[in-house]
Structure 1
Amino acid sequence: MRCLNCAKMVCVICALVFWAIGTLGGSASAQQVTPREAEQFYESLAWHYGPVIHQGAASDQDYITALDFDGDWFGNNNWENQPTGDLSAYVYYSVIESKTHWFLFYSLFHPRDYTYEDCATSGGCHENDLESIQLTVEKDGTPFGKPRTLETLAHDSIYLYTFDETVGSGFLRVTGLAELEDGHPLVYVEALGHGIYGHKGGSSSIYFFPRLLGGGTVTYRVGEQAEVPESRKDENISYKLIPIYTTLWPRRDSIGDGKTFDRPFEYRGHVLSASIDGDTFSKDSANTPWGYKQATGATLSRGDWFLDPARAVSFHASFEDDFSLEYVYNPFLNDLRN
């Protein structure tokens, strides 16, 4: 079944590539296209660069899934429902386009952030966890462009990786070179705390500690099926991409105890939610995609990394080539303007 799905996926991607070359010339803005055509093009970009995820797995609490894995959109029952919920693998994504770049954002959700020690006494556990990566791709005239930077979020820090030496440090110091597998960036995710890194040596909780507990590393790759790992050492699991814009974003106003999100904050005159609602061990400790405040310095605001990525990435790194701050497609900012 998996081989048939892979073959079907290749056909779909090939069709979208030919459509992108013949109709769009590598950009959804190059000609007048229907919203569905633009949506398909951005989805094909997200598929093309869907990350290969090496997930440290000390237990099934480290399996990635969807926020509504338990069949509802309440945030504060996810800890309790983790043992019985559907742990099929999903990755949330968005694509934003400027005049010179595409910004691909991927978010990984876990119902629990936990510790080796008893959560009742460790002080390090909390309900819900959403850590993310941002891939910046230069529009170079080819259908899928050229990847330039990979940023990964691990707890309170964003790490900057580049694909060549023409991109340098900005507010963030370049951590190292990003890695690719068949054109897909590789990311490495901790067990327990789920911080994301662009190299396998980023944390001992990716490989070493999970194995001490009898676990291992689960490897997820983008596919048509949302699969559940057969073990904590499964090396070929398919995850399904789901768009942030049609799943999480429409619920952004569901703010408060017993709802989906919480911790309201103001972003450019609009009230948004900074976190997923949660109350087990630590209250409201998992950020929303638009709620991150890491690496803002004195220039950026909470939310810019997701909502205004051109501004954020150009602050985090330095680019030799043109880097436009003007958007061709940013449905999130458009919604906030309307």
Structure 2
Amino acid sequence: MLDRSSRTPGRRVARALVAAGAAAVLAAAPLAAPAPATAAVSRAELALRWAPIHYQDVDATGGHALGGQSDYLTKVDFDGDLNGRNNWDRTGQAGVSLAAHAYYSVVETSTHWYITYLFFHPRDWTDHPFFETEHENDGEGALFAIERDGSAYGVLRSAVTVAHSDFFSYTPTGSTWTSGRESVDGTLQFQASPHDTFQHPVTAQEAQGHGLKAYPQYNINGDGLVYYPSTIAETPSGGNDRDVRYQLIDIFAAGGLWAQRSNPSLFASLGTFAGDTSGDCGVGTWSCSTNSANAPWGWDDGNDAPARGEIASDPAKLAAEYFTVPAGLARTYGYNPYAGASAALAEAARTAPPIVD
């Protein structure tokens, strides 16, 4: 690994407690370089090809910003352990790596691949005291639907992004998909990467609260980072680095994030990261909330029909709700490791009280 030294309240979080699991540091399995267009590709290669070029706004204001480091992307075990309750305190400490990583999962039907990307920050923070909360850990991301058209990598038809407790939907220019029960919120843009030969979709996150939308609905305002998908992880040289490569980690890898879903040190409940109020979280601000960040199987837009977590665990259902798909889409999965926990996910969604963040 190379070291190149406004948020929205109302996030809903579930509290369905799960059994303890063994803790182990999550390893970032190396990804192969993209295969030639004529070769069959692996799920890792598919995820790398469609991984977004990602704009991250950076705010260096106030002590909780850590000079901008609180807006850096990293992995959940950036500090060398799977204890979610010490991440706020360890962000920015000497010797701790904030090398850029993102997580992905791929599930598939006979007609589509669905790729979920999770972008993790150790802090969800603010720099003023009025009406906003901070919390330890922050997980937001996007779902891309890829039509299996016979080509090696398919064709990207839609994106749904997670901005706090709301989902936003997008289609690229020329997509055959149109609005369904939810209106399409904008156009998904593409941009060439200097690190491979592909045009990638472009996403962006705001500073502090890290809501995620398609670029340029969020954009860099002053300082910021531009992250490029790669097979290596780089640490930004500072808060205004416009070429930082990030490495992907498979959520379904052995010992990975999905395997750790019952680890009480990392998760307070099913799909909800554990986080406490230690350190200066909430000091000088409105408050610091606990257990307030979600993994993909905990993402929820409570105003929409798909249940909590189905953006990751049943993306074909979400796609059918959000979009009109002229060619139709299969609803039976040929590969979906989330499916084994579908009953628990459904029960967690049914019984979870809303938590205001």
Shift of 1:156: 1.4
CA contact (8 A) 1:158 1:295 kept: no
Residue 239 (structure 1) aligned with residue 241 (structure 2): no
Q: Which residue of 2 aligns with 1:86?
A: 97
2-side partners of 1:165 and 1:43: how far apart? 24
Q: How do residues 187-202 of structure 1 correspond to structure 2 at under 5 angstroms? A: 187-200=203-216, 202=217
What RMSD in Å do the two structures reach over aligned CA positions? 2.3
Q: Using a 3 Å threshold, how does the CA distance of structure 1 residues 10 and 71 change in structure 2: closer, same or farther?
A: closer
Residue 230 (structure 1) aligned with residue 237 (structure 2): yes
- Write the deviation string for residues 195-220 of structure 1: whole angstroms up to 9, x where unpaired: 111121x24xx433xx2xxxx11000
Q: Which residue of 2 aligns with 1:287?
A: 294
Structure 2 unaligned blocks of 5 or more: 3-29, 60-67, 193-198, 278-287, 344-357
SS in 1 for 2:170: strand
2-side partners of 1:326 and 1:194: how far apart? 33
Q: Which residue of 2 aligns with 1:34?
A: none
Residue 168 (structure 1) aligned with residue 175 (structure 2): no
Shift of 1:318: 1.3
Q: Using a 3 Å threshold, how does the CA distance of structure 1 residues 286 and 140 change in structure 2: closer, same or farther?
A: same
Q: Using a 3 Å threshold, how does the CA distance of structure 1 residues 225 and 193 change in structure 2: closer, same or farther?
A: same
SS in 2 for 1:44: helix
Shift of 1:166: 2.7
One-letter amino acid matched to 1:319: V
Residue 276 (structure 1) aligned with residue 273 (structure 2): yes
- Write the deviation string for residues 257-289 of structure 1: whole angstroms up to 9, x where unpaired: xx11013xxxxxxxxx13100012111110121
CA contact (8 A) 2:261 2:271 kept: no
SS in 1 for 2:297: helix
Structure 1 unaligned blocks of 5 or more: 3-8, 21-39, 264-272
Shift of 1:320: 1.0
2-side partners of 1:151 and 1:317: how far apart? 10
CA contact (8 A) 1:64 1:87 kept: yes
Shift of 1:92: 0.1
Q: Which residue of 1 aligns with 2:309?
A: 303
Shift of 1:295: 5.3
Shift of 1:155: 0.9
1-side partners of 2:31 and 2:119: how far apart? 24
One-letter amino acid matched to 2:319: V
Q: Using a 3 Å threshold, how does the CA distance of structure 1 residues 295 and 178 change in structure 2: closer, same or farther?
A: farther
Q: How do residues 1-338 of structure 1 correspond to structure 2 at under 5 angstroms? A: 12-15=33-36, 17-20=37-40, 41-58=42-59, 59-84=68-93, 85-117=96-128, 123-163=132-172, 164=174, 166-182=176-192, 183-200=199-216, 202-203=217-218, 206-208=219-221, 211=222, 216-246=223-253, 247-255=256-264, 259-263=265-269, 273-280=270-277, 281-294=288-301, 297=304, 299-334=305-340
Shift of 1:322: 2.0
Q: Using a 3 Å threshold, how does the CA distance of structure 1 residues 260 and 319 change in structure 2: closer, same or farther?
A: same
One-letter amino acid matched to 2:137: N
2-side partners of 1:165 and 1:146: how far apart? 9
Shift of 1:122: 5.3
Shift of 1:329: 1.1
Q: Using a 3 Å threshold, how does the CA distance of structure 1 residues 190 and 99 change in structure 2: closer, same or farther?
A: same
TM-score (structure 1 length as normaliser):
0.80
2-side partners of 1:47 and 1:289: how far apart? 18
Q: Could you list the runs of 4 or more consecutive aligned residues of structure 1 that deviate by over 4 angstroms after TM superposition?
A: 334-337
CA contact (8 A) 1:161 1:176 kept: yes
2-side partners of 1:47 and 1:165: how far apart? 21
- Write the deviation string for residues 79-113 of structure 1: whole angstroms up to 9, x where unpaired: 00112131000000011111100001100000001
Shift of 1:174: 0.5
CA contact (8 A) 2:31 2:44 kept: no
1-side partners of 2:206 and 2:32: how far apart? 33
Q: Using a 3 Å threshold, how does the CA distance of structure 1 residues 11 and 224 change in structure 2: closer, same or farther?
A: closer
Q: Using a 3 Å threshold, how does the CA distance of structure 1 residues 180 and 10 change in structure 2: closer, same or farther?
A: farther
TM-score (structure 2 length as normaliser):
0.76
Shift of 1:123: 3.7
CA contact (8 A) 2:35 2:45 kept: no
Shift of 1:149: 0.2
Percent sequence identity over aligned pairs: 33
More helix by share: 1
For this pair of structures, how many residues does the alignment match? 288
2-side partners of 1:175 and 1:301: how far apart? 20
